[in-house]
Amino acid sequence: MTIIASLLSIASGFALMGYRETPANLIATSIIIDLALAPLTAIIASRHGRSALRWTVAGLVLGAWALAAVMLIPPSRPAPPPRPDAPQYPPTSDAA
């Protein structure tokens, strides 16, 4: 059980922070954190043009490391060109 707790603490990033608890508490906390970060990782990945399913699995397995990776990897698709009827920013005054 200690080995599983150590692996989960490394995957979740708790080992880097120096978080020390009993193995059962560390496993439960790591699983909760990974379950909370997986949907966020998937949302960011889909907005960057990546596979949401693959990044969800990565978020479940790697936790904070997957979230950091998906935020650092540049988007795979270029930004769409602006529409011609879109408002111009910053707005200009016609009074001058």
Residue found under tokens 């990044």:
55
What angle is formed at CA 32 by the lines to CA 64 and CA 30, rounded to 5 degrees?
A: 60
Percent of the chain with pLDDT over 90: 26
Q: What size, in residues, is the chain?
A: 96
Q: How far apart are CA 95 and CA 62, in angstroms?
A: 56
By the 8 A CB rule, do 67 and 37 touch?
A: yes
What is the mean predicted confidence (pLDDT) over 18-28? 82
Residue found under tokens 């990897």:
73
Helix (H, G, I), strand (E, B) or coil at 78: coil
By the 8 A CB rule, do 39 and 67 touch?
A: no
Predicted confidence (pLDDT) at residue 46 exceeds the cutoff of 80: yes
Is cis: bond before 78, omega within 30 of 0? no
Quote the pTM value.
0.67
Predicted confidence (pLDDT) at residue 23 exceeds the cutoff of 90: no
What is the mean predicted confidence (pLDDT) over 84-93? 68
Q: Band the pLDDT of 96: cuts 50, 70, 90.
A: low
